[in-house]
Amino acid sequence: MSGPAFNPFAVNPLRVNPREITERNFTRAAERLGLNAEQQLMLKTPFREVKVEVPVRMDDGSLKVFLGFRIQHSGVRGPAKGGLRYHPAVDADEVRALAEAMTWKTAVVNIPFGGAKGGIACDPTKMSRAEVERITRKFVARIHLLIGPYRDVPAPDVNTNAQVMSWVFDEYSSRHGYSPACVTGKPIELGGSLGREQATGRGVLFVLADHLKDLGKPLKAQKVVIQGFGNVGSNAALLLAEQGADIVAVSDVYGGVVSKNQKGLAVKELAAHVKQTGSVGKFPGTEPVSNEDLLTLDCDILIPAALECVLHKDNAPKVKAKIIAEAANLPTTPEADDVFAKRGVTVLPDILTNAGGVTV
């Protein structure tokens, strides 16, 4: 499959049920708002959950049946909205949790959508482009009556991209007529939004810049560590570096690199290096660091931009950053949140920090 590489970061390392995280976060917020039990029950319960079989003829002639999910958490404020991810670890609890998070995310940035999420339990790294297209079209054929511009609008997510969205668009349109508004994140040539690929990273920049402004601090010369150098992490690194921040360490699935002299990395050159070699590893002027150790490096700002649940009760006491910007979904467990609160570490939540993607 062409496009963004398979993202092993999406695997939950601690086997934490993401639904437990969203439940606890919701309960805390609801109690602060004084919501009664009935209000809480209505707000946290998804209004529609769909599980479908997705039979696909593989290139070798064999037939495989995959499981697909589309969970619409809320449509109160408008059509449900949320990504479509392809990953072996996709299950109902993960999709349910992410759908709920999308409801709060669209509300926080005040756009007229609700929350949804979808996924297929498959491994796109072991599939050809043609197989990925077939699984996409079959999934849309199974759920097309439940999605659409006024019902539920999918978007790219883990291991899906503009090409996958173009297949969703085409399959949906073949059944309902030309409908460019049925998906977002599609190619510009098909009506996509200019700047969509950089939008999530740019949102990270805006949230950080505003927070630092409130603190009376400049973004320039802030030491930043970023876990994840995919679409979100790489664009956040490039944009922050343009504003004078020092990106001192980054990582990908193969591990990380840290500047030998603790000065900012040449991010444009690093991006070119990744494009050429497929990894941040062995970038000149750096030393290797593991993904786990990267999280506890000396820095001002830590940006987890990849894996769920990477900040947990075991490593939270060791984190040296004073600001954590959650560019990934659900990167911080509730136990880690408690540790950070006691230590005075500011956590900029994912439902705001990474909302740029759903806004553009």
Do residues 125 and 114 lie in contact, with contact meaning Cβ atoms separated by under 8 Å? Answer: no
Q: Which of 157, 198, 176, 9 is nearest to 69 (CA)?
A: 157
The answer to whether residue 117 is catalytic is yes
Q: Which of 157, 167, 162 is nearest to 136 (CA)?
A: 167
Q: What's the rounded Cα separation, in Å, for the pair 264 and 273?
A: 16
Do residues 316 and 165 lie in contact, with contact meaning Cβ atoms separated by under 8 Å? Answer: no
Q: What's the rounded Cα separation, in Å, for the pair 300 and 312?
A: 19
The DSSP letter of residue 344 is T
Question: Which is it for the CA torsion 188, 330, 214, 224, positive or negative?
Answer: negative
Task: Specify burial of residue 100 (Cβ count, 10 A radius: 0-12, 13-18, 19+).
Answer: buried
Q: Which of 81, 105, 117, 138 is catalytic?
A: 117
- Tokens encoding 326: 């959650």
- Catalytic residues, by residue number, are 117
